[in-house]
Amino acid sequence: MRSHAETGDVGIIGAGPAGLAAAYALAKAGVAVEVFDGSAQVGGMAGSFSLWGQTVDLGPHRFFSTDARVNQLWTEVLGAESGIVDRLTRIYYERKFFDYPLRAMQTLRRLGLYQSTACVASYVLARLHPRRDESSFENWVINRFGARLYRMFFKSYSEKLWGIPCTLLDADFAAQRIKKFSLLEAIKAALRGNKGSKHKTLVDQFSYPFHGTGSFYEKMARLIEEKGGRIHLSTPVRSVTRAADGALSINLADGTVRPFQWIVSSMPLTDLVLGFNPPAEIVDSVAKLRFRNTILVYLEIQSRDLFPDQWIYVHSPALAVGRITNFRNWLPTLCGDSQNTIVCMEYWCYDDDAIWRSPDADLVATATSEIQDTQLIGATPVLNGKVIRLRKSYPVYRRGYRDDLAKIEHYLSGIQHLFPIGRYGSFKYNNQDHSILMGVMVAQNIMGQANHDLWRVNTDDEYQEAGAVLQRGGVMAPPIAEGND
């Protein structure tokens, strides 16, 4: 059996960040690859499209990475076709705005003397009497921030996003996003101030393509084809199957069967596994893994100047919306000659939730009512609305999910030359830079240059905001859907 890929050997499922990064690295090395995707455009959840004379993304996206391989690919593909965005992201709670990541002293000041004292007392109580079982998101966060701050800045948003009580959400999600942060550490950092900081940090700025995040993947796709790779859009994949001799094939929805020696899959892990007709124990584990859907409601508003944030996290329990994106505040090149602003109201649900089946007109009406309720747009007229539904956007870290995922990983490890990667493919809460890295690493594996254990690639090996903690005067970051990447 060959130890590395030769021309024509690699089939890739999915033209999102992970699949295209793998295809690009392989094509650049002279390996002929084929990419299959059911949608009409590349980029996956990081795609962009034209709307009302402007360019918008599928929700908010930003780019930064501490990994040299990812940064090199970004620069190599985009060249000078990107700019720097001065970031402003805030949390909306009880009609007040708090910087994200939360700044300890600012937060306590805005809460007022009574609430601040109660939050500190709640934190002290949690430190004196910590909850022993930290397997749940709720207990993990309370032990580090106290019950009162948990209820204000963690509970409501997290339950909107994941659709389950925080008692049933695994602590893995919190550990990946806030690591060793606590209220005490944030206050200490605030008291130290930003001494020694001479430049803006990753918290303050991020890189962004002139024509939307999707333009990065569109250019990467063109480069892949220039190097001999083939990309098949509007070509959904039904399954991957394995013959008796171990040969792998991609089975397309139109009945076409395409054999490949190596297959890289970023299709949902649950769909991939079921295609192999696994044993009952694996089927049971697959049934316990769920993905959360996203509904994006775009509103065109008759104003150029609404509010300064790129996006806002909505923690108010009274509002169903979870995040509000303002595309006017990214780069001017997105807006063209339009004098209006496009905002995106983001909602999350499961297939069986009523909102998923709601008519578009009802969703636009709800989004319009909710943004007016926040007072972000005042009496400014809403001119148009558009709804986009995205299935299986987020892997849900239900308590105990890791045990089921481990069984699936073990089962798939017995299938040679198959590599599940990306947010969907590996059931990991990746940002786009993590998925790009997985694509680069799987290409190295296929070409015999490395032997990365892709299952062990964490979604956040180092919490990306951590480098800014001491420089920004004390930040604490709720583990939220950062950038939807």
pLDDT digits (tens, 9 = 90+) for 260-275: 999 999 999 999 999 9
3-state secondary structure of 89: strand
For residue 177, name the pLDDT band (cuts at 50, 70, 90): low
**394: which residues sit within 8 A by CB, 6+ positions away?**
161, 162, 291, 292, 294, 348, 423, 429, 481
Sign of torsion over alpha carbons 316, 318, 323, 328: negative
Q: Of 139-153, 193-207, 357-371, which gets the smallest average pLDDT?
A: 193-207
Residues of the chain with CATH 3.50.50.60: 10-87+208-289+397-452
Q: Where in the chain is CATH 3.90.660.20?
A: 291-395
pLDDT confidence bin for 218, thresholds 50/70/90: very high
Tokens 């030359």 -> residue: 417
N-to-C CA span, the chain: 37
Torsion, Cα 467 472 476 481, to 10 degrees, reads -70
Per-position DSSP letters for 464-484, written without gaps between them:
TTGGGTTTTT-EE-----GGG
* Predicted pLDDT at 278: 96
For the domain covering 291-395, report its CATH number: 3.90.660.20
Residue 465's pLDDT is: 37
- Report pLDDT digits (tens) over 115-134: 999 999 999 999 999 999 99
Q: Which fold has domain 10-87+208-289+397-452?
A: FAD/NAD(P)-binding domain (3.50.50)
The pLDDT tens digits for 445-457 are: 999 999 998 888 7
H-run or E-run covering 118: helix 104-128
pLDDT band at residue 241 using 50, 70 and 90 as cut-offs: very high
- At 11, is the secondary structure helix, strand, or coil? strand
d(CA 164, CA 316): 17
Pick from 4-13, 203-212, 270-279, 353-362: least confident: 4-13
| Angstrom distance (rounded) from CA 69 to CA 73 | 6
Percent with pLDDT over 70 in the chain: 87
How far apart are the C-alpha atoms of 16 and 105, rounded to whole Å? 40
